[in-house]
Amino acid sequence: MPNARTLTVIDSHTGGEPTRVVVDGLPPLETNDPAAVRDQLRSQHDWVRTSLTHEPFGAPWMVGAAMLPPVSDGAAAGVVFFNNTGYLGMCGHGLIGLVATLRHMRRIEPGTHRFDTPAGLVTARLHEDESVSFRNVPSFRLKTGVVVESTEFGRLEGDIAYGGNWFYLASVPALDPAELDRYTRATRQIKLALSAQGVTGPDGEEVDHIELFAPPSGPECNSRNFVLCPGDEYDRSPCGTGLSAKLACQAADDALPPGEEWVQESITGSRFRGSYEPTKEGVLPTIRGSADVVAECRVFVETGVAAGAIDAG
């Protein structure tokens, strides 16, 4: 394909949730600062995102990661996360996938590594067993007692919290993996209800992640969750930023002591482990999980499509 751009990507999954890391082929960028790169990709090169998260090569549940040279002293890399509808400030499962990808590329060894993200500097540790833990950005609860009505669950009362993305978190009696369509409908409805009520982050940010909690499948976990992500796809993993938001709520309620581990089970049965250190504003969460590399690919994008012909819907 002589008139095609080539993106080299490495695919992994973290607890069932995919991450597609672009390791080569990004268009020329004015800077390596992740927040500025995010804005430039969105305004000038959105074809990168749509090529990797839309058909025919992508899928609605795909999360992408543009790997960048580091900007902070001692950082291993920078990264911008994106999905089928837009760009993310941070992505917990995606960061674990990025670390696994760098390990696969033999660019890092077990130890502590730092990463520049649009949400701030994030520290991760690659353990000898190839699991990954990361210190997320400061997380906090903004509001409590936020009421919404759901046709599936009736009246819900939940929290608004930040864990790298904005979340609405509420408890429900049970979560059955056989009822994914039902939970997807319910969480979409909740997101629309929050928007209609004008519930946002402190600067008008959309609360674009909805997280439901219920008792786990067994005593080895603390709870099971279902997370609706932007683009109206559910998270196959337990959601790292969602667990960070959950830890912030637990700390605000004095329901989990600092340093004590919370084991979060996803709707698919995969698990993350989380704990936190308190801060004046909230918590500093640490999340641990594992990722597996599953493919290396070269993606060819026709130049007409790369110029913006891919439908972003």
Catalytic residue among 221, 229, 239, 249: 239
Catalytic residue among 91, 221, 229, 249: 91
Report d(CA 152, CA 129) in Å as an integer. Answer: 41
Which residues are within 8 A (CB) of 198 and not within 5 positions of it... i.e. 6 or more apart?
Answer: none
239 included as an active-site residue? yes
SS3 per-residue string spanning the chain: CCCEEEEEEEEEEECCEEEEEEEECCCCCCCCCHHHHHHHHHHHCCHHHHHHHCCCCCCCCCEEEEEECCCCCCCCEEEEEECCCCEECCCHHHHHHHHHHHHHCCCCCCEEEEEEECCEEEEEEECCCCCEEEECCCEEEEEEEEEEEECCCEEEEEEEEECCCEEEEEECCCCCHHHHHHHHHHHHHHHHHHHHCCCECCCCCECCEEEEEECCCCCCCCEEEEEEECCCEECCCCCHHHHHHHHHHHHHCCCCCCCCCEEEECCCCCEEEEEEEECCCCEEEEEEECEEEEEEEEEEEEHHHHHHHCCCC
Report d(CA 236, CA 258) in Å as an integer. Answer: 27
* Residues carrying an active site annotation: 91, 239
